[in-house]
Each structure stands twice: as C-alpha cells, then as structure tokens.
Amino acid sequence: MSAVDRLPTVTLAELNAEAELLTRVDRKYVVPAGDLDALVTGIVGLRVLEIDGRRASRYESTYLDTVDLDSWTASAHRRRRRWKVRTRVYADTGERWLEVKTRGTRGSTVKERLAHDGVEVSDGADAWVRDRLGAAHVHGVDPTGLVATLHTSYLRTTLLLPGGAGRATIDRDLRWTSAHGTAEVGDVLVVETKAASAGPGPLDRRLWELGHRPTRISKYGTGLALLTPDLQTNRWHRVTSRHLAEHLTVRTGAAA
C-alpha cells in the first residue's frame, strides 16, 4: 500500500468548497516517481480526493490554437497576454468542458470553463470564448478559427492541503499526441501546487526539503515543442533536456 492509499479522503464537493481556486498562483515541479511516498508523508491534515473509490482519474485535454500557433508563441516568449483554450474530458465519468486559461494580476492563473461537447469551439460557445479572452485583454483571436493542435492524457491524483493552503495535483503517465507523432514519459511526476496567494504552502516546503525546486513546464508548451521539429528553441528546452530526457519516448510520423 502506497502512502497515497493511506491518506484520509475528501469528496469533490468538499474539495471545491474549500479550495476550488479557479484563480490561483501555481508552482510546478518535476519529481521522480519514486519520491511520491516521501512527498506525501509527514504533512499533517493532508487529504486525497476520492471519487467512486478511485484516488486517481484519467484526464484528456485537446488544446486549440490558431494556425500560426499564437497561444503557444505567447507562452514560449513569455508575453503578458498569455492564453490557452482547450477541451477537457474526465475519462472516468465522461464529463466534458471547454476551458479558457488567462493571466490575472500578479502572475496568477485564471481558469474559466463551460460545459461543452465536442473538440472544437461550437456555435454558441465562440461568443463565450471571445468574451473571456476579451476580459483578459486578449484581442484579435477568432474562436471559430481555432484548430486542435495537441492532445494530452495523464492520470491525476488531487490533494487538499491542510489549513486552507490550497490544493495540489500529481500527474503521471503523461502522453502527448499531435499530427507529428506521440511522446510519453514514464517514472516522472508533474506536481503542481495551487494557492490563493504567492506564499509557499506545506507541500512546497516538503518538496524543497526533498531537494526539488519549481520547474518551468507546460503540458501544452512542452508537448508541442517535443513533437514539432521546426519550432525554435524555447523556454521549455531545459525541462525536456534535463528533467524528462531520460524517461521520454518520442515517436515521430503519423499520430498514434
């Protein structure tokens, strides 16, 4: 039995009531899978999300971008008006959402979502996407012209941190698929802490104790860079060459 299996549980309703955090400050870490037990041990009050007896759920996301990859480029070059549009499927339940992520004040992340079927932005949803981007001062993006550029899949465990410190996610079995091929990474966890303020929480401090520091990683940015040979060297080169390289399998050619 792993340390995650021994944690007390929290329901989805309780988690959202205490730490939904659609506007939040994120820190991301790339951690060897073997450190998981040490990571979650010794934090008093830590709880794990459990749904229908499952403590991990399969997530699938399809990222939508312009044909010129304006969303990817804004992130790669750290532009102030960064944005992402994606569709997300909770594979275990079939629940589907259309999500818009933008940058808020002081570097915070703002995520907004709309119940949505399908992969592309459908009629009726385009006005909502345009409105959410406009509210973040992102202009000139036609939601009806967005195309699917990358599909991601991973297994996620969600933690509720004690003392109102927020929540955290632990993702493993990452897989990316694009028109250029597939990439997957094994024996590596992507840990993300999400809090209402910039101060470190108990899981951040535990990660630091174990020798891990925040790492610049984006599932969309990293995955597209791995599978698109003509993209220039970018801000995720370090994470792909140092943190992921030994555990990566990349297959180029027709998407698997």
pLDDT tens profile 62-120: 999 999 999 999 998 878 889 999 999 998 888 999 999 998 877 788 999 999 988 88
pTM here is 0.92
Domain 3-252 has CATH 2.60.120.10: no
Three-class secondary structure of residue 91 per DSSP:
coil
- Calculate the alpha carbon distances from 47 to 159, 208, 241, 251 in Å: 6, 20, 33, 37
The answer to whether residues 214 and 146 touch, using CB atoms and an 8 Å cutoff, is no
Domain ranges of the chain: 3-252
Number of alpha carbons in the 13 Å side-chain half-sphere of residue 217:
24
pLDDT tens track for 141-152: 999 999 999 999
pLDDT at 145: 95
**Low-confidence stretches of the chain (pLDDT beneath 70):** 232-233, 254-256
